[in-house]
Amino acid sequence: MPVSVKHSQLIFDALRACDVRLMSALPETWLVHLIRMAEEDPAVTLVRLAKEEEGVGISAGAHLAGVKSAMLMQNHGFLASVNGIVSLAHLYRIPLLMLVSYRGEFGERDPWQTQGGGATEPLLRALRIPYDRLDHPNHVAAKVRKAQTLAEASLSPVALLLCRDLMWEE
């Protein structure tokens, strides 16, 4: 499977460097190594979800309980989480660090993934969620750190888009 182990490790290490101790996840191809790393790290609580919106509630609980968390999901999982983001995270000022695999961009081969790509950034903008692209290994550590810092300072959701050029080895 040409999902990049090396770059998944970079992302995982960057999350751990921010003291992220709880990760919620719903598997998709690009996230398999990240989820395995979370499962194998005894210092991380991995919560496998049935649907991504649950992760908003779990991260809210973790935050109020004093634990930093991250959400690993596909962009379709982000689409499925919107009500929780608005009516819990925004309404109650809850920081969310959302790592969203950005399917449906240039290079996408799966026809069923091609609609979500076009909706992802317009929706992030409509929700006024600050976001950035993770598309080069050199920027991973700094961008993850800065995203986590902004989420905590603003008490709001932020998103990092995990892009094809970073996640996939052609």
Pick between residue 56 and residue 161 the one whose CB is nearest to another protein: 56
Pick between residue 18 and residue 134 the one whose CB is nearest to another protein: 18
In sequence order, the 6+-apart residues with CB closer than 8 A to the CB of 46 are 23, 24, 25, 35, 38, 39
Specify whether the CB–CB gap between 105 and 34 falls below 8 A. no
Query: Could you tell me how many residues of this chain bind another protein (CB under 8 A)?
Result: 30
Q: Please report whether residue 153 would count as binding another protein according to CB under 8 A.
A: no
Pick between residue 60 and residue 161 the one whose CB is nearest to another protein: 60
Report which secondary-structure segment, H or E, holds 8. helix 5-17
In sequence order, the 6+-apart residues with CB closer than 8 A to the CB of 166 are 4, 7, 134, 135, 136, 137, 140
Question: What is the spatial distance between Cα 117 and Cα 112, in angstroms, rounded to a whole number?
Answer: 10
Specify whether the CB–CB gap between 102 and 162 falls below 8 A. yes
Pick between residue 55 and residue 104 the one whose CB is nearest to another protein: 55
User: Binder to another protein among 10, 22, 158, 163 (CB under 8 A)?
Assistant: 22
Provide the mask over 56-95, with x wherever binding to another protein is found by CB under 8 A and - wherever it is not: xxxxxxxxxxxx-x-------------xx--xx--xxx--
Q: Which residues bind another protein (CB under 8 A)?
A: 22, 45, 47-51, 53-67, 69, 83-84, 87-88, 91-93
